[in-house]
Structures are given as structure tokens and as C-alpha cells.
Structure 1
């Protein structure tokens, strides 16, 4: 569907082609994505409830984890429900305004996720490398400021990309080879000059990706050095076990995003971009509850307590 704008035809609706054209595969993918979305929502909601209701978990580490769980719910809710609705209704269209809105929230929540992973790395660095000064380094006020800064910086980054996207024209090409409106895909579909937009992606767009990623690398290099000095083998294993969970999420999240957004355009293909999108939009948020919580004895205890009694809600953040 298109409208005339001067001497060109402007697109008023985009078609989300999804992951597969095969009807049987679409049925299986619908069931798979529905299950993954429900598992993601339930798992992350349980994390939030457990941390909120268990006074033993009112520490900075779990405060950041609760925020990450909330953002993961929002992140997956930006893309998956629309895909599921399109499958049920048989209508693949999404209005131009709806596509821009989806792109905005997708980039925003994805950027917050990235910043929060960096913040959590700093928290682990402070706890392991400076245990005696941890309570003075990571105070409740510092925690709130770090989370607020993550949301604000991500919003600024997102507004930059979304506003620059509105200046582009979309002509005859309205078929999105993905299951959601993605920034990189939208730039490929534009029929006007995208030099400024790609410049923004490669400059401003690096802030929520490379800065937290570099911060994580530096933090973990120092953490590994500190852990190697621990004389106890049990102590080393405990420290590496905690950090290994975080690193596995970081590797999956940043690896797929860097591959999708910052690789040369010539190396991209619709199949690779879609596969990468599934990993960082669906797989990572779903795996976070398992990686961070279900291997954590404190979280297991909080889950058991949550199931056994009616929780009494208290403040989620107190000094560690």
C-alpha cells in the first residue's frame, strides 16, 4: 500500500515477511516463539518478584538483575507479540508509523540492556576486586544513578536514530525480510540518501555497544587477575562460576549485535541478519533467567519461598 508524494510513491505500510515462507515451518515457528515468549516473560517476572519480596536479595547485584529482567520483558514484547498476531490474522502488514514506533522501542530497550550489562560488570569488579570498599563504592544512590543513566543515555541514542529515520523516504520497497522493523533493515529499504543515518549508526550507535563492551572486558580482565590470586580453589571456582554466567550472556548478546550492525554491508544476508536477530531478541532474554538465577542458590531459595507463601512487598534496594 502506497501514497503519492510529489513525483515519487511513498510507502504507507510495510510487510513483515517473517522467518519462513513454508506454511508448516510457520506453524512450528509460531508455537516455538509463543513458548519462548511465555518462558521469557514468566522467568523474568519470577526474578523480579523473588528479588522484590526477599530481603536477602536487596543488594546492588540483584537490583541490577531485576532491572535487566524488566527490560528483557519489554524488549521481547516489542517484537514477538506483533509477529504472533500477524501469524494468527494472516496479515503481515504494519503501518509506517507502527514500524517507526517498533524500531524506536526496539533500539531503546536493546540499548538499555547493553548499558545494564556493563553496569553489572562494574558491580562484579567492585565486589571481587575491592570487597572491603564495596559498600562505599556501590551505594544505593550509585545504583539508582547508574540505572537512570542507562535509561537516559539509551533514550538519547534512540531518539538520534529514530529522528534521522523520519527524514528518509520509502518508495516501492516495503517488504521487510524479518519478523520486526529493525533499524538496519529500514535503512536498506530507504530510497533516499542514507549516508547521514549510517554515519550516526557508526558513531553515536557505538555508544551503547562498544563502550559497555570495552568496560566489561576491562572489568573482567581485572577480575580474572584478582581471582587468580585467591589461594583457595573453592574460592576461585565460586568467583569464576558467578562471572562465567555473566560472560556467557555478554558473549551471546554482543556477538550477534556486532555481527548484525557493525559488519561490512557486503557480508550481510537476509538469513544471517534474521538468525542474529532471533539470538539477541528472543534467545538471550529467555536464557537470562536460567543463566543468572536458576544456577544461583540464593535465587533458588527465593523462588522456593515465593512459591510457599504469600509475599509481602518491600523496597527492592537497600545497602548491601
Structure 2
């Protein structure tokens, strides 16, 4: 803690608020009806992800490296939704807009960790597809249970570490201006702009995180599918190309659901912010899981 607070200016009195106030959707008419719908979406996500994880655990045919990643993706989505949605419902259905300082940081940590893990998990699935299509004869040698578990574990360590750094940097800030967060949850960017002292380290880690967690995974995924498309173009028959492409549709749907809303918000977020309910809809879409359908017992995995 002393390390983070050492960057505080000498002439600034350190102020840590008892709470923050969430004000992102305070002026939206009939907002309670929207959040009733959000409650049903959350319940559907909760049940859907639970069923996916249960099916993968119970069906021995699905205990493959691919479905290790699918299981982790379902778990991350379930955990992330459970961290985000109940507090949103509490804030906007019951007008409990105040959140304690420590609770806000914990809330931010869990949400950002899960958001990061979703992007990294899509990288693992993209790599699985790439090996399965480009190196089909070596798939079971290259893509083992141990490799996939190690990859997922390393992603968890990385996501937790980078989020802890971001949250730790927030604790060095003195909040002498305001405690009002102009967002619908404890958003890192909204919080550090409230700081009275130098926020440069926070801006640097925010920019670094967005590149590492969002854009680098997206570039890797797109490059993987460029390689897959090139290999498929060399297939001898159209039937083989269609069959191989069908194995990628589930993952491509996940990539689109995750990245397109984020890109849209990054590009147009400031211009559409007054209608913040659009931001909420887009970000909620990021957190919803569109998981691949587990194959029936009559289908064979890679």
C-alpha cells in the first residue's frame, strides 16, 4: 500500500471516500421495466451455463481439451454475471445507488477479471480450432488435456495479476473532487478520473490492459482464422470445406458477441453516452454466453 501511495503529491491531503455513488442510468424513464427483463436474462444465463457445465462433467465423451475450454468459458460467464447483475438490480430496482469504497473495488476486480478471462478463453478455443484444421494428424499430440489445463491456468493467473495491478493503482488515488461515478457499475476509467493526484499510472495500465486483453487476442483470433481460411481453400472438395467451416461457427459466434459490442462502445461510447442504456445493453451482450452445442453421442469430436 505504501508503494501505491508514494506517488501521491506532497501538497495533497489523502482522501479515501466511505462510498461511491453510481449515477449512470439515473435519468432513464421506466428503467425498472428494463431491469425486470435483465433479471430474466440473468436467470436464463444462470440456468444455461449451469446446464452446459453439468453436461460436460457428466458426459465422458465431452472430456476433451476443447470442452475444457468451453467449461471454463461457461464458468467465467456464470461467475461474471453473478458478480455484475445482482448489484445492478439492487442499484436500479431499489435505488440503492451508494456502494462502499472497498465493495466497489472488489466489484471492479471480479468483473474485470471475468471480462479478461472471456477474451483469453476465446484465444484458447481459436488455437484449438487452428490445430484441429491445419494439423489434423497431430491434433491429439499437440492438443492434450494437460496442455489445455495449463493454458487456462496461465490465463487465470495473468488476468488476476493485471486486474490486481489496476485495482491496486486505484488505492493510491485521493478523491477530493467527487464520489459520483457516471457509469452503471464501478468502472475503472470513471473512478480514476475522480482522483485529485496524478492519474498517469492508471491511464497507462488501462491502455496496456485494453491492448493485452482485447486487441491482441482479437488480432490472434483473426490471424488464426486467416490461416484456417487459407488451409480450407486448399481442400480438394467443397464438402470438406463446408464440414470444416461448420466446426468454427460456434466459436465465431462467440467472438462476434464478445468483441463487436466492445468495439462499438470504444468507437462511439462518448457520443452515445447520454443514452447510457445503450451502453448497458452492449456490455451486457458481452457477458452473455452463446456456447457451442455439445455434440450428441453420435457425433465425434476432433
When normalised by structure 1's length, the TM-score is 0.81
Partner of 1:33: 38
Q: 2:290 aligns with which of 283, 288, 294?
A: 288
Structure 2: distance between partners of 1:201 and 1:37: 28
For residue 208 of structure 1, give the secondary structure of its aligned residue in structure 2.
Answer: helix
Q: 1:16 aligns with which of 12, 16, 22?
A: 22
Structure 2: distance between partners of 1:65 and 1:173: 42
Q: Given that residues 253 and 290 in structure 2 are in contact (C-alpha distance below 8 angstroms), is that contact kept between their aligned partners in structure 1?
A: no
Say whether 1:101 aligns with 2:103. no
Displacement of 1:287 after TM fit?
Answer: 4.3
Q: Given that residues 60 and 138 in structure 1 are in contact (C-alpha distance below 8 angstroms), is that contact kept between their aligned partners in structure 2?
A: yes
Which has the higher mean CA deviation after the structures are superposed, 150-159 or 242-251?
A: 242-251
Structure 2: distance between partners of 1:35 and 1:149: 34
Structure 2: distance between partners of 1:182 and 1:277: 12
**Unaligned ranges ≥5, structure 1:** 1-5, 303-318
Report how many aligned residue pairs link the two structures.
Answer: 289
Report the CA distance shift for 1:204/1:286 in structure 2 as closer, same or farther (over 3 A).
closer
For residue 127 of structure 1, give the secondary structure of its aligned residue in structure 2.
Answer: helix
Q: Deviations over 1:220-273 (max 9, x none)?
A: 111111122223333322322332332232133223334546x699x5653477
Partner of 1:315: none
Q: Given that residues 103 and 183 in structure 1 are in contact (C-alpha distance below 8 angstroms), is that contact kept between their aligned partners in structure 2?
A: yes
Q: Given that residues 259 and 276 in structure 1 are in contact (C-alpha distance below 8 angstroms), is that contact kept between their aligned partners in structure 2?
A: no
Partner of 1:248: 253
Structure 1: distance between partners of 2:93 and 2:275: 26
1:111-126 → structure 2 map (5 Å cutoff): 111-126=116-131
Q: Given that residues 108 and 186 in structure 2 are in contact (C-alpha distance below 8 angstroms), is that contact kept between their aligned partners in structure 1?
A: yes
Q: 2:278 aligns with which of 275, 278, 283?
A: 275
1:83-232 → structure 2 map (5 Å cutoff): 83-232=88-237
Q: 1:82 aligns with which of 61, 78, 87?
A: 87
CA root-mean-square deviation: 2.6
Q: Deviations over 1:159-180 (max 9, x none)?
A: 1111111111222322222221
Structure 2: distance between partners of 1:176 and 1:68: 30
Report the CA distance shift for 1:213/1:198 in structure 2 as closer, same or farther (over 3 A).
same
Structure 2: distance between partners of 1:97 and 1:29: 28
Q: Given that residues 79 and 179 in structure 1 are in contact (C-alpha distance below 8 angstroms), is that contact kept between their aligned partners in structure 2?
A: no
When normalised by structure 2's length, the TM-score is 0.86
Q: 2:53 aligns with which of 48, 68, 72?
A: 48
Q: Given that residues 16 and 178 in structure 1 are in contact (C-alpha distance below 8 angstroms), is that contact kept between their aligned partners in structure 2?
A: yes
Report the CA distance shift for 1:269/1:183 in structure 2 as closer, same or farther (over 3 A).
farther
Displacement of 1:8 after TM fit?
Answer: 7.4
